[in-house]
Amino acid sequence: MSRRRPVYLDHQATTPLDPRVLQAMLPWLMGEFGNAASLQHAYGWAAESAVNAAREEIAEALGAAPREVVFTSGATESNNLAILGFARAARRTGAHVVTSAVEHRAVLDPCRALSAEGFEVTLVPPDREGRVSPESVEAALTDRTILVSVMAANNEVGALNPIGRIAALCAERGLAFHTDAAQAFGKVPFGVGGGVALASLSAHKLYGPKGVGALFVRSRPRVPLAPILHGGGHERGLRSGTLNVPGIVGFAAAVRIARREREAEAERLGRLRDRLETAIRASLDGVTSNGPPSGPDRLPGNLSLSFAGVDGSRLVSSLRGVAVSSGSACTTASGEPSHVLRALGLPEPLAKATLRFGVGRFTSEGQVDEAAAEVVAVVRRLRSENESLRD
- Concerning whether 330 is annotated as a catalytic residue, the answer is yes
**What is the 3-class SS of the chain, one letter each residue?**
CCCCCCEECECCCCCCCCHHHHHHHHHHHCCCCCCCCCCCCHHHHHHHHHHHHHHHHHHHHHCCCHHHEEEECCHHHHHHHHHHHHHHHCHHHCCEEEEECCCCHHHHHHHHHHHHCCCEEEEECCCCCCCCCHHHHHHHCCCCEEEEECCCECCCCCEECCHHHHHHHHHHHCCEEEEECCCCECCECCCCCCCCCEEEEEHHHCCCCCCCEEEEECECCECCCCCCCCCCCCHHHCCCCCCCHHHHHHHHHHHHHHHHHHHHHHHHHHHHHHHHHHHHHHHCCCEEEECCCCCCCECCCEEEEEECCCCHHHHHHHCCCEECECCCCCCHHHCCCCHHHHHCCCCHHHHHCEEEEECCCCCCHHHHHHHHHHHHHHHHHHHHHHHHHHC
The residue count for the chain:
391
Instruction: Burial-class residue 5 by CB neighbours within 10 Å (0-12, 13-18, 19+).
Output: exposed
Catalytic one of 29, 171, 226, 330: 330
- Which residues are tagged catalytic? 330
